[in-house]
Amino acid sequence: MSKTIITVVGKDTVGIIARVCTYLAGNQVNVEDISQTIVQGYFNMMMIVDTSGSAKPYVEMVTELESLGDAIGVKIRCQREDIFTKMHRI
């Protein structure tokens, strides 16, 4: 199964990574890579994760991560990696 990309964009605040990772750990999602930048106070993070160990339906995880983002005050997107690799790799 292909990997999943989780992106988090929004105003920087304490504990963003911790809360996202806590959610992922609770759902048996393995984080394989994290890259992160802060531009003019805006937090911008990308995680590459493997969801194959998770029992949760994919769309449910997408929705729950969106809600978590709303609670933290950031935008969290969870997308299958193919949309990016197909577009940027030949």
Q: Which one of the spans 14-22, 23-31, 81-89 is the region binding another protein (CB under 8 A)?
A: 81-89
76 DSSP β-pair partners: 8
Per-residue binding string, another protein, 53-72, x by CB under 8 A, is -----xx--xx---------
Q: Does 12 bind another protein (CB under 8 A)?
A: no
Q: Where are the beta strands (DSSP E) in the chain?
A: 4-11, 30-39, 42-50, 74-80
Please check whether residue 49 is in contact with residue 42, taking contact to mean a CB–CB distance below 8 angstroms: no
Q: Which residues bind another protein (CB under 8 A)?
A: 5, 7, 33, 35, 37, 44, 46, 48, 58-59, 62-63, 77-89
